[in-house]
A and B are shown apart, each in its own frame.
Chain A
Amino acid sequence: KNEVEQSPQNLTAQEGEFITINCSYSVGISALHWLQQHPGGGIVSLFMLSSGKKKHGRLIATINIQEKHSSLHITASHPRDSAVYICAVETNFGNEKLTFGTGTRLTIIP
């Protein structure tokens, strides 16, 4: 079993829909990251969370440390949000090592 599991693996939605991508992990972590990989391959960091919730524009990330679960939400989705969203956890305190989920491929249809 992978240390970091994402669901769904693939998600197709209509423009404007509210999107939720989930990330569960099985180990103790010091922080969790959400990344976005564009169709061209470039990777952008979206959030780093160690507790609570962060918001940037239409993107919201939450984490529940007790339940070992994080969600990434996209409000008013747009075709330009189509990308692979990747969750990653720092599994060793002070070690700064990252373990990644395999990603969720999101497609937003106009």
Chain B
Amino acid sequence: EAQVTQNPRYLITVTGKKLTVTCSQNMNHEYMSWYRQDPGLGLRQIYYSMNVEVTDKGDVPEGYKVSRKEKRNFPLILESPSPNQTSLYFCASSLSLTSGRETQYFGPGTRLLVL
């Protein structure tokens, strides 16, 4: 089954404790992206990757890191989480065409609470 998986689905942590949210897709997609969703602000793009070893900042990259060492995986790293990073996080992937993306497949979301 074609899917994007994220782990963990729920996480409670404390300020400053490094964490990684994993994202994996089994569709051989070139494009992967991370978003956060906050009430009243909607979805905002954190980072995206157009292929292995190619990543770029979205609208809200501060406090986050990503890496794309393999095509299927795109982990999101919070080196020193802070309470303002409490949010619902989504990973997504799609084929990358020269003119843009086709259908995006979203992961189930990771709900993060930073105390």
**Contact surface of A with B, Cβ cutoff 8 Å:** 30-31, 33, 35, 41-45, 48, 50, 86, 88, 90, 95-103
Taking CB atoms, residues of chain B closer than 8 Å to A33 are: 104
Tell whether, in the assembled complex, residue B59 and residue A48 are in contact, meaning their CB atoms are under 8 Å apart: no
Tell whether, in the assembled complex, residue A41 and residue B109 are in contact, meaning their CB atoms are under 8 Å apart: yes
Tell whether, in the assembled complex, residue B103 and residue A48 are in contact, meaning their CB atoms are under 8 Å apart: yes
Tell whether, in the assembled complex, residue B96 and residue A30 are in contact, meaning their CB atoms are under 8 Å apart: no
Taking CB atoms, residues of chain A closer than 8 Å to B101 are: 31, 48, 90, 96
Taking CB atoms, residues of chain B closer than 8 Å to A30 are: 99-100
Give which listed residue, B40, B59, B90, contacts A99 with CB less than 8 A: B59
Give which listed residue, A42, A50, A100, contacts B100 with CB less than 8 A: A50
Residue B5 at the A interface, CB < 8 A? no
Tell whether, in the assembled complex, residue B43 and residue A86 are in contact, meaning their CB atoms are under 8 Å apart: yes
Tell me whether A102 and B102 are in contact in the complex, defined as CB-CB below 8 angstroms, given that A42-B108, A96-B31 are known contacts: no
C-alpha gap A64/B17 in the complex (Å)? 47
Give which listed residue, B44, B96, B104, B108, contacts A45 with CB less than 8 A: B104
C-alpha gap A31/B106 in the complex (Å)? 18
C-alpha gap A102/B59 in the complex (Å)? 15
C-alpha gap A98/B37 in the complex (Å)? 13
List residues of B (82-115) whose CB comes within 8 Å of A's CBs: 88, 90, 92, 94, 96, 99-106, 108-109
Residue B45 at the A interface, CB < 8 A? yes
